[in-house]
Amino acid sequence: MKKLLIAALLFVGIAGFAQDRREKLTPEQRNEKQLQKLTSELNLDASQQSQVKQLLAERSAKAEKFKEARKDRKDSNVKPTAEEKAAFKKQMEDEATANDAKMKSILKADQYTKWKTLQEEKKDKMRDKMKERKEKI
* Angle between helices 82-106 and 109-136 in degrees, nearest 10: 150
- Classify residue 97: in a domain, yes or no: yes
Would you place residue 67 in the very low, low, confident or very high pLDDT band (cuts 50, 70, 90)? confident
Domain count, the chain: 1
By residue range, what is the domain housing residue 86?
25-136
Q: Is 31 helix (H, G, I), strand (E, B) or coil?
A: helix
Contact 35, 52 (CB under 8 A): yes
- Classify residue 122: in a domain, yes or no: yes
Of 102, 100, 103, 106, the C-alpha closest to 46 is 106
- Classify residue 62: in a domain, yes or no: yes
- Classify residue 9: in a domain, yes or no: no
Report CA-CA distances (Å) from 88 to 27, 66, 115. 22, 10, 25
- Classify residue 79: in a domain, yes or no: yes
- Classify residue 20: in a domain, yes or no: no
- pLDDT for position 80: 82
pLDDT tens-place string over residues 81-101: 889 889 989 998 999 999 999
